[in-house]
């Protein structure tokens, strides 16, 4: 039952790359259409059957807590985990009690049409310790790329190649024991946590999402997200 699965949403960052938009509002409250981006994420989770959401807050937390309250407006339960100083993206997990079964962790600034229950089912079916939602991004290099031997002999000339990468969507499923790899109140980011898990030979697997995903980390990303959402809002509110 998705209603029993806890969802941790990381909403404590300052969003410096989105300045000056984040000078007044914290990044999770930036509007996409008529709703803050975090409300879109929460609405998606509610529609997909999730009922228990923990917001890990820090910067301008009072504004976030005032807007979302206890979550009744969306028919869910919202609680808060407050960090006294910035702890990164992984360390806030160590402050949260009651994570006794596989749980979701996601950034608060993502716009996607991912199916969260399918992600959880994938995690469980693969008996993973950690699952990372993956998305393919094509990196265009606006230069002519040369492949040359050590002696300078040219073997190939590729004009403006496109290089595919699989990137993290900022959406994860973790087993409860993940907290054993996090030192409480010591700063740690999720990439370092994942590497630590892999080093300890725990199974980490990737879930490939082929729909839509945008990371709203920069001003140009934010503008693109607004345009895409306004063109098809129902796609993200189901």
Catalytic (active-site) positions: 160
Q: Are 90 and 190 in contact (CB under 8 A)?
A: yes
CA distance linking residue 92 with residue 96, whole number of Å: 7
Q: What is the DSSP string of the chain?
A: -GGG-EEEEEE----GGGTTGGGTS-GGG-EETTEEHHHHHHHHHHHTT--EEEEEE-TTHHHHHHHHTTSGGGTSEEEEEE-SS--TTTGGGGG-----S-EEEEESSEEE---HHHHHHHHHHTT-SEEEEEEEEEEE--SEEEEE-TT--EEEEEES-EEEEEEEEEEEEE-GGGGGGS-TTS---HHHHHHHHHHTT--EEEEE--S-EEE--SHHHHHHHHHHHHH-GGGG--
CA distance linking residue 52 with residue 8, whole number of Å: 9
Q: Is the peptide bond before 20 cis (omega within 30 degrees of 0)?
A: yes
């Amino acid at each position: 039952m998705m209603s029993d699965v806890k969802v941790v949403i990381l909403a404590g960052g300052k969003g410096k790359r989105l300045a000056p938009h984040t000078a007044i509002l914290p990044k999770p409250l930036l509007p996409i259409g008529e709703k803050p981006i975090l409300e879109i994420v929460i609405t998606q989770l509610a529609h997909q059957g999730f009922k228990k959401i923990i917001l890990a807050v820090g910067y301008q937390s009072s504004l976030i807590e005032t807007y979302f309250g206890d979550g009744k407006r969306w028919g869910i339960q919202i609680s808060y985990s407050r960090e006294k100083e910035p702890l990164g993206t992984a360390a806030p997990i160590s402050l949260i009690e009651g994570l006794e079964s596989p749980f979701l962790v996601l950034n608060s600034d993502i716009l996607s049409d991912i199916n969260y229950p399918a992600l959880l089912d994938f995690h469980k079916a693969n008996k993973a310790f950690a699952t990372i939602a993956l998305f393919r991004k094509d990196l265009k290099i606006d230069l002519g790329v040369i492949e040359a031997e050590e002696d300078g002999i040219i073997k190939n000339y590729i004009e403006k190649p496109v290089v595919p990468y699989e990137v993290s969507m900022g959406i994860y499923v973790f087993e409860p024991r993940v907290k054993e790899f996090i030192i409480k109140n010591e700063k740690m980011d999720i990439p370092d946590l994942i590497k630590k898990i892999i080093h300890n030979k725990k199974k980490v697997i990737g879930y490939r999402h082929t729909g839509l995903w945008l990371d709203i980390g920069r001003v140009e990303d934010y503008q693109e997200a607004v345009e895409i959402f306004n063109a098809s809002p129902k796609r993200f509110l189901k």
